[in-house]
Amino acid sequence: MKILSVNAGSSSLKFTLFEMKDESIIVSGVFERIGLDNSFYKIKLNGETIKEEIALPSHTEAVNVLLNKLIDLNIISSYDEIKGVGHRILHGGEKYSESVIINDDVIESIKELTPLGPLHHPGEIAGIMALKEVLPEVPMVAVYDTAFHQTMNEEAYLYPVPYEWYENYKVRKYGFHGTSHKYIAETVKKILGKDSFKLISCHIGSGGSICAIKDGKCVDTSMGFTPLAGIMMGTRSGDIDPSIIPYVMEKEGKNASEIIEDLNKKSGVLGLSQLCSDMRDLVTACEEGNPQAIKAKNKYIRRVVDYIAQYYVLLGGADIIVFTAGVGENNVAIRREICEKLSCLGIKIDLDLNNIRGEEAKISTDDSSILVYTIPTNEELMIARDTLRLMNR
């Protein structure tokens, strides 16, 4: 059975087509600059990349090009071979604690939740409507990035602010990267061979979040009302004193939206290093002795370590720590330094085992008090799995 996983943005559409019999990837790709000049697509098939510049005035046109290319490349013989479509949706608010079959009510809910996901929801709605137009009879599923975190209790998700902010405006912690953390939890369950476990999942890439998971359910997570909260990231600040915002507004003559833009796109590793947002470039600069790069790297590691230590206490210990996403899966030096800072918890990693990139592997020593693994995340597969599960209900 073939299922299509889709992640639509305001001007992009990423996709992966799976054969669910063995969960293998048939083809994947991305359509970029939809509705803009110089639009193009890239398709990865059998280890090769096909790229073409083509006019893409709308998401519907992108979907038509995609499906026709699947036929032209002999990937499918007709649209009927696609049995389901899963859509990544950023925000489910408090309404959705799991993925759901998309109907008119779900589409309206996504629209109503747009104030909580203003940058993402319009593109995601466009992706849904485009695929519904071309594949009207195919079941479609909304997979919410926030859903996995809905198991947090009030102590975790409420902010110490006037309670009416929550009652009137739903100001609370929602958390993000839920699809990734759920995938890691399911994979850890298979690795450990049991349902009961304490996991600290570290999704650290350009964006990043740490998640405390007990018995497969989220207990707490570092991102908050928006993805700006939590650990330091590539260009996001993570947690800061909110009083900084009006102070800098006055000093620089900026409004609140401009300061939030700075905190989202000009802060984090980029802001502190004054050099780059990519951790690979940062580590290289550190090796060359760049003082700003060293400051940024040390602060980044400190923030990740702080959250891991906090969640170790919250969970009452940990059975396993997992590193995933771009930095977590591939940056040997950052993983090593984080684990070294946690040595007081009895964590030990094997330097040879840690010298891997993009692999599922145990990197801790046999006498480490906590297992440490790298596990490549697979949000697209998680979307396809949820789609298949709901189709089979």
Question: What single DSSP character describes residue 349?
Answer: B
CA angle 205, 179, 191 (to 5 degrees): 85
3-state secondary structure of 367: coil
Cβ neighbors of 112 (< 8 A, separation 6 or more) are none
Q: Which two tokens stand for residue 121?
A: 């929801």
Q: How far apart are CA 245 and CA 254, in angstroms?
A: 10
Determine the Cα–Cα distance for residues 156 and 55; give it in Å rounded to an integer.
Answer: 47
Angle, CA of 199, 202 and 174, to the nearest 5°: 90
Q: Where are the alpha helices (DSSP H) in the chain?
A: 59-72, 104-112, 121-134, 154-157, 163-169, 178-192, 244-252, 256-265, 268-273, 279-287, 291-315, 325-330, 332-341, 379-391
| Whether residue 239 lies in the annotated active site | no
Nearest to 43 by CA among 20, 13, 9, 79: 13
Contacts 24+ apart (CB under 8 A), 360-369: 360/187, 363/335, 364/339, 369/345
Contact yes or no for 140/132 (Cβ under 8 A):
yes
Distance CA 115, CA 282 (A): 35
- The DSSP symbol for 236 reads -
Q: How many CB atoms lie within 10 A of CB 294?
A: 16
Contact partners, residue 5, CB within 8 Å, separation at least 6 = 15, 16, 17, 18, 85, 86, 88, 380, 381, 383, 384, 387
208 closest CA partner among 316, 308, 137: 308
Of the candidates 145, 241, 281, 319, the residue annotated as catalytic is 145
Residues with catalytic roles? 145
